[in-house]
A = this chain, B = another copy of it.
Amino acid sequence: MLSAVSSLVEVARAAGVSVSTASRVLTGSSHPISAKTRAKVIATAEKLGYSPSALARALVSRSSRLIGVLVSDIVNPYFSVIARGIDDVASRAGYVTMLSNVDRRTSTEISRLRTMRDYRAAGVIIAGSGFEADPLAPDLAVAVGQAKEQGIQAVSLTSRDLGCPVITADNEGAAHDVTDHLLSLGHRRIAFIEGPPGMTTSKQRRDGFLACMNAANLSDVARCLPGGFDFEAGHLAAMRLIARPPLPDAILAANDEAAVGALNALRQAGIDVPGEISVAGINDLRLARFVGLTTVSLPLYEMGAMAAQHVIDALPGDATTTLLSHRVIPRETTARRPPG
């Protein structure tokens, strides 16, 4: 209470024991300590408001309880749900997360990864957006390699080839299944609003869509439009569809936000959803529930949780890929195709 900062040394002195004894009491070591001494040390530590230096601990034990988390943008609900999953299992295990926003910039990703390394993080979870085609991508892989060499666990949440285990959603399957849902409602001419070009996730979702359409022998009426992962992109893409009739039977957007943007454009144009056209998205963010959007729920929280658990358990598994399952959530923006 009096001293500005109290170290183990001070606690030991005040309790009349050696530093090692104090340490052993406070860490709950298996080394035998008399009940009396133990109580004395604990009481003294309490009284002095002792706070063990996690820094010193990490230094000597050569392992911190820090987990680095790299996301594109924490404001994006996609990433915040992942981050939440990570933090929940991390803090339950006594770990703390270092969060960093990298804004889809691989160079930033590399630099932040280096920072996490400097802090001797137990592990790093990379949930950046994953631009496969980025010329810096190999450098990132190198940085990941260096981290691993230093004993830092790395886990990727997008399936880029980073030389570390990947835990991710089955994006392709998700897109496939929601497409299938639209087909089961009788829709045939389906337009797909793509995600940002170059991103792994974008590609996987488009592949899923096309695979499903192909399997149904509908590849000739499948249509892909350039889009993006945000509201405006969806809005714009839908406007373009509206401008060149006839409208498709249904629109699938690579993303809930884009789907809502499309929804908005359609309704502004006086087009009834789902009366005249169905709309669906992917992700099942809270937003989707608000507007009643049909979508597919991705295991984002679980991805984060699992990745954190992987780091904490110091699991190996170098090139393993874990695919978590999804679920189509039908809501009010999709309906059976109207006759005619």
- A54 proximal to B (CB < 8 A): yes
A96–B51 alpha-carbon span in the complex (Å): 21
A101 to chain B, nearest CB (A): 5
A75 part of interface (Cβ distance < 8 Å):
yes
A91 interface residue (CB < 8 Å to B): yes
Contact assessment for A101 and B88 in the assembled complex, using a CB-CB cutoff below 8 Å: yes
In the bound complex, what is the Cα–Cα distance between A287 and B290 (angstroms)? 9
Chain B residues with Cβ below 8 Å from A80 are 74-75, 77, 80
List chain B residues, Cβ under 8 A from A260: 290
Which residues of chain B have C-beta atoms less than 8 A from A257's C-beta? Answer: 290
A151 touches B55 (CB 8 A): no
Is B59 a contact partner of A114 (Cβ separation < 8 A)? no
Judge whether B4 and A53 touch: CB under 8 Å. Answer: no
For the complex, give the distance between the alpha carbons of A115 and B87 in Å: 14
* Chain B min CB distance to A58 (Å): 5
Q: When the two chains form their complex, are residues A84 and B77 in contact, meaning their CB atoms are under 8 A apart? A: no
Interface centre among A49, A54, A115, A286 (most CB of B within 10 A): A54
CB-defined contacts of A49 to chain B, threshold 8 Å: 146, 149
The one of B54, B74, B96 in contact with A74, judged by C-beta atoms closer than 8 angstroms, is B74
Q: Give residues of chain A (258-312) contacting chain B, Cβ–Cβ below 8 Å.
A: 260-261, 264, 286-287, 289-291
Interface centre among A5, A55, A88 (most CB of B within 10 A): A55
Q: Is there an interface contact between B51 and A74, defined as CB atoms closer than 8 Å?
A: no
Q: A4-B149, A75-B84 are in contact. Are A59 and B53 (CB under 8 A)?
A: yes
B100 in contact with A87 (CB, 8 Å): yes
Instruction: List B contacts of A156 (CB < 8 A).
Output: none
- Tell me whether A112 is interfacial, beta carbon within 8 Å: yes
Q: How many residues of A contact B (CB 8 A)?
A: 53
Residues 113 to 143 of chain A near chain B (Cβ within 8 Å): 114-120
Cβ-based interface call for A198 (8 A)? no
Q: Does A98 sit within 8 A of B, measured CB to CB? A: yes
A161 within 8 A of partner (CB)? no
30 sampled A-B residue pairs with Cβ under 8 A: A5-B149, A5-B151, A49-B146, A49-B149, A51-B117, A52-B118, A54-B115, A54-B119, A54-B120, A55-B120, A69-B99, A74-B74, A74-B83, A74-B87, A75-B80, A75-B81, A75-B286, A77-B77, A83-B99, A84-B101, A87-B99, A87-B100, A91-B112, A96-B112, A96-B116, A97-B98, A98-B99, A99-B99, A231-B289, A291-B291
New contact pairs (10) apart from A54-B115, A75-B80, CB-CB < 8 Å = A4-B149, A4-B150, A53-B118, A55-B58, A74-B87, A83-B99, A91-B112, A96-B100, A96-B119, A290-B291
* Residues of chain A having any CB pair with chain B under 8 Å: 4-5, 49, 51-56, 58-59, 64, 66, 69, 73-75, 77, 80-81, 83-84, 87-88, 91, 96-101, 112, 114-120, 146, 149-151, 231, 257, 260-261, 264, 286-287, 289-291
Closest 5 CB pairs of A and B: A54-B118, A99-B99, A54-B119, A75-B80, A55-B59
